[in-house]
Structure 1
């Protein structure tokens, strides 16, 4: 369903720096950090789909501004908590987006992610 618009996102996000970062061991995430990362990736995927007129993505509330703000705040918070740089966070988000795409799990995670978005105050 969402693979049509995730593939370009995943390909663009994989850079030599990210590939090198992927070789490093992944940090141990808390449940809250995992949920935040998952939702940031899901919002990026859905927002990209909405920007491109994907019907499945358009079934969700508009995520342009709110989704981007959540993504930025989540990335900054995870950088601080995990001691990672931008490339490290990019690698984590790319890997999570890839996992969501491969498992076709966007529709499974979006209800909880939308609740998390509302709770975040963004």
Structure 2
């Protein structure tokens, strides 16, 4: 699962372009419950923010350091989603990549982070 975290971090480092626009999930994949969707979105947001912190992006420094805590939250979230939904790592990886692509719009990322930080704290990570 650390590899999935790293792949989301790598995606966060990419520049946006029309060629890598977000891909809609396939209709054959199960729909996640609201809480599961929020956890998935926050796992991606925290991973992207952690990557931006590592890269020295000034706005990302407005948040507490997310490196190790972010990885742990990411791993726990993905493991719980696998257990609760039966989705594979590959399917979740695709969904995480889609979420991370949305966060290339930093305004969207910064708007999402307060709720994700609350989720991180609630998770006890």
Shorter chain as denominator, the TM-score bin is: 0.7 to 0.9
Normalising by structure 2, we get a TM-score of 0.76
Q: After the TM superposition, which segments of 4 or more aligned residues of structure 1 sit over 4 Å from their partners?
A: none
Match of 1:6 among 12, 15, 20: 12
Normalising by structure 1, we get a TM-score of 0.78
Match of 1:71 among 71, 74, 77: 74
Which has the larger share of helix?
1
In the TM superposition, 1:87-106 aligns within 5 A as: 87-102=90-105, 104-106=107-109
Aligned residue pairs, count: 109
Q: Give the distance between the partners of 1:9 and 1:76, measured in 2 at CA.
A: 29
| RMSD value, Cα | 2.4
Q: Give the distance between the partners of 1:9 and 1:94, measured in 2 at CA.
A: 14
Task: Identify unmatched segments of 5+ residues in structure 1.
Answer: none
Match of 2:103, SS state, is helix
Cα 1:27/1:9, change in 2 over 3 Å: farther
Query: 2:3 matched to which residue of 1?
Result: none
